[in-house]
Chains A and B, each alone.
Chain A
């Protein structure tokens, strides 16, 4: 297999090293980078993220030229993109954690607090839960049915149901994965989801969205 370069974007996200370890474990050639030129030359792009939407969005935007490089490589160049947890949420139009913060706006929608009507439902949504594919996403190459590890208090409310690839259930339906062309985002942590998660990452490495 030709060695493709995966750019793993380093903008201070806490799960950077875990994602790096997991990508290496499935054989990826990873470059951890904060350099927009490396992103422009990458074959695939992975955006990690934990913590608050605001802190992550500000961290990403503080790297001069990074959002532009990502946008160019993904929207013009067609490079497969994977956002994980807050890295997925950043695809939204805006986040409502600690005030309104604009996201990348690649997948229209908003990120807001999970507010269960049943007080017995615990927040954060923490632990293993279903990844249930939407009927229109049954044949998605990367996301498969299974159990994955979730850890979040905010969720991505997606405007267009066609952009939702998978759902999970925590007192209410929550978006587990979003997909649009060569853009994929997962709310759960594949890097922390044992065999299921590693297989997801391995498929991402061979994904050729047309």
Chain B
């Protein structure tokens, strides 16, 4: 076979606690990210992603402690994002036990940050977030366009998302986390055109994100969106589907997935 499509559950955390209500297994403390991570490790998730959505920079110590405790009990790759603004921020997360750091607004403001972190710690640990919204085009305009948004999809930047994706890949990002801010939270499926346009334009792997509501959405993200990995939150957290069901759905569609 070849490299497997990765199924990545993503936990939003703030001040060391899981933010969205999560209840997919019997946990003593469903708000504890470490317990959640342990459960996903046991369930055979291919990787895990923590996104810190704390508004302030003051909770960094709490985040680092959470990453440290997770890395002691979880033996799967861990990506941590949110609030990474400098090489030093990345270093702290990697030393705490993150395998990769996702860089968001700070790279939009200053793309060179991607190169600085990649040169210091290797491309393999740099995930560049591409948070994009579809641009409303005049009638008759055939080619779709997307714009980079920051601040959880609230702040437009005027930056073309596909150009940005190519730029951060060239600067040394080892993979791109492409999130449709239009789709995020809708459960209506990934923006497949966005995912495919970027995946076909770069040589690094793309993680599809934003909008998963069904297992078919995961399959489409790969077969139609050309993603190498699929990220989802609520369908796993709320127990709608298990990680093994996601792997099975991918395999049933003829895609390589773990757990044969």
Contact = CB atoms under 8 A, between A and B. Distances in A.
Interface of A: 14-15, 17-18, 21-22, 25, 50-52, 55, 119-120, 122-130, 147, 149-153, 169-171, 189, 191-194, 197-198
B3 A125 contact: yes
Contact of A149 (B44, B77, B122, B229): B77
Contacts of A189: 77
A185 B175 CA distance: 26
16 contacts: A50-B124, A55-B122, A124-B124, A124-B174, A126-B3, A127-B46, A127-B228, A127-B229, A151-B77, A151-B99, A169-B2, A170-B2, A189-B77, A192-B77, A194-B75, A197-B75
Contacts of A122: 203-205, 228
Contacts, number: 101
B75 A22 contact: yes
| Interface of A, helix, strand, loop or mixed by DSSP | mixed
B121 A126 contact: no
A129 to B, nearest CB: 5
A192 B95 CA distance: 15
Contacts of A147: 4, 258
B125 A14 contact: yes
User: Which of B46, B77, B204, B229 has its CB near the most chain A CB atoms (within 10 A)?
Assistant: B77
Contacts of B75: 21-22, 25, 191-194, 197-198
Nearest to A97: B122
A130 B122 CA distance: 24
Contacts of A169: 1-2
Nearest to A16: B95
A122 B41 CA distance: 25
B94 interface: yes
A126 B175 contact: yes
B97 interface: yes
Contact of A124 (B73, B76, B95, B204): B204
A210 to B, nearest CB: 30
B6 A18 contact: no
A-B pairs, top 4 by smallest CB distance, nearest first, are A51-B122, A122-B205, A128-B4, A127-B3
